[in-house]
Chain A
Amino acid sequence: QSALTQPASVSGSPGQSITISCTGTSSDVGSYNLVSWYQQHPGKAPKLMIYEVSKRPSGVSNRFSGSKSGNTASLTISGLQAEDEADYYCCSYAGSSTLEFGGGTKLTVL
Chain B
Amino acid sequence: DIQMTQSPSSESASVGDRVTITCRASQDISTRLAWFRQKPGKAPELLIFDAFYSQSGVPSRFSGSGYGTDFALTINSLQPEDSATYYCQQAKTFPWTFGQGTKVEVK
The judgment on whether A and B are partners is no
